[in-house]
Structure 1
Amino acid sequence: MSFRLKRITREEHLAFIRDRPSVSHMQVPSWGEVKPDWRAESLGWFDGNGGLAGAGLVLFRPLPGLRRYLAYLPEGPVIDWDAADLEQWLKPMLEHLKGRRAFSVKMGPPVVVRRWDAEAVKRAIADPAAGRLRDAEATTHEPRALDIGERLRRMGWQRTEPVGEDGFAAGQPRYVFQVPFAGRSLEEIHQGLNQQWRRNIKKAEKAGVKVVEGGYDDLPAFHEIYVETAERDRFVPRPLSYFQRMWTALKAEDDGRMRLYLAHHDGEVLAAATMLTVGRHVWYSYGASTGRNREVQPNNAIQWRMMSDAHARGAGVYDLRGITDTLDESNHLLGLLRFKAGTGGEAVEYLGEWDFPLNRLLHKALGLYMARR
């Protein structure tokens, strides 16, 4: 089957997304408004009957001094990745983006490769021979993913390899941690938490930690401890304006798209987190906590409140986003993996991000620039 690709309206894009249980929050039209340094465009794949069969949000980032662009589809596009004629989906996209003066295309196929349940992750961390999660025996494999990867290589796509020792790539995470909700009661999800998590939730309740849902005016309180978290965990924080723009853009599109939670104790905000929802997929997006009064376990309390609310709203999966691939005890990110594994969910490996150089010289120059960063 051949497809005709063209720009689509926000309304067409949103209508397509509404029919699907899981689409990345980075593939909704409003995400382009969160990224003011990028120019956004919604693309649609139309079949022979004129029906909208696929959609994607593409972000264009200009090269300084040149009218040439990096075209980026984070965690997308939303197409039939299992299709035998995958080239018929991607070829018109490349032709369209080349006509839009893109010198390189980056995309993140939402295709799962492997999963490790919580026990498998626990064993991997305890195994001195397992230096990385990828070295540990997975609980389940998705054979189709390897076939998709091989077909992408034959088409000329190149997988972006992680940079740095922590296993994180420059774009979106290849490894995430998710808690399956579909078909499970809240009690079953609670029982799936490890003993330490259940104990910490009860400890927070006894200590009087109160988790409340906040609004736009509470974003500065979130941001204050987010900056503290960034300093402690050694990452560069985003400015307050970024979260204010995210709140305004996402909630204008769908009032339930973004929520803010704050954990209070004795009149002080000890932890805060943002939650994003598209369809039946819910993400714990950004989290923050102060180093004060950690013994009252505000992080467990806020996560359990978010998980409970997500379940009540019909979520099929609760996604805790990125985890490190390294199992090195000296890596400060290993503690985050342990924390997320305590939810009783599963580590999930995606196919990763892939590049297609439309202009090899400019693509190589961009690669050298990113490597120096």
Structure 2
Amino acid sequence: MMSNPLTHGTLLGRVWRPGIGPCVVTVRDGAVVDITSSAAPTVRDVCELDDPAAHVQAAPGDALGPLADLLAQDADEGDALRLLAPCDLQPIKACGVTFAGSMIERVIEERAAGDPARAEAIRARVGAAIGQSLRAIRPGSPEASTAKAALIAEGLWSQYLEVGIGPDAEVFSKAQALSSVGQGARIGLHPASAWNNPEPEVVLAVSSAGRIIGASLGNDVNLRDIEGRSALLLSKAKDNNASCAIGPFIRLFDDGFTLDDVRQAEVALTVEGPDSFVLKGHSSMAEISRDPADLVSQAIGRHHQYPDGLILFLGTLFAPTEDRDTPGGGFTHKIGDVVTIASEGLGALRNTVDLSTKCPEWTFGARALMANLAHRKLI
């Protein structure tokens, strides 16, 4: 299993404390420290400060125990000390088709109409025609317009290519505020899906003013058969119980970690199956087609405000084609798969795959959080 090298940086997260509820935490000298206060009782409030990193570094707090213990445990319910997703009131948004490699796979999904048996033949034909030619094209550029015209003439244009190389990025709602799961929790697949995979991504924390204040890791679970049948099924494919994992912490920008580090991040993926199958993959942020700052500006601005800020998935280069069970069948999850997404400086996010209908129901929403904080006299 991959390590979880969270040894430095200004870390911001959340835990569930027994008998208390959700608390804002950081990490100091290898220990998790509760820094919840009436000045910043939520992660959202910390992210809205002028200098979130300075607040987290200086805030008084109570040590809750070794970080290693929390990172190692599997826990997603019950009144036990456990890590939560490191965001609370922020809605979860995501960008799709931001890498040329995964863009081609989205085209293949569309052409295969969600049927993995047809994907290999289509992959060979489409990939030979456009697989390499689009990698160096800047979205929205004159070169992109020329390529679009040529692909239309060949009958190969797709809605995925439109958002992949056109002027407008795909930005969609991945999950509701407070619905994401964290490190060690189960991550859910809709039971109607038979062709699916993890999506290892870098995730940005963005303030209500559109300022990027830190980054984390995320798994934007992809139901390839459902979305492949129709792009109008995107919400059904993306927003399900426990289908969004974020964590283990938000690493805040400070003197030692900036947006430029995000731009160069390497994200590694390992899937370890109950059938002894092991899948490894990676996503390199250096190959992203649109700059993270541009993606943020397309998500938030005068056209769309987020008074509680937002969390933004940046997309992935990873699109698995390795056969798991049958030749030509490609990869799909099995219940019990352990998915680990890791990146130097951001740690490792580990979750175990289950059906959304078997993962703990999401019941702790915004009203429950407000009632909890009011009871604790924090608001």
So what's the TM-score if we normalise by structure 2? Answer: 0.24
Greater helix fraction, Structure 1 or Structure 2: 1
So what's the TM-score if we normalise by structure 1? Answer: 0.25
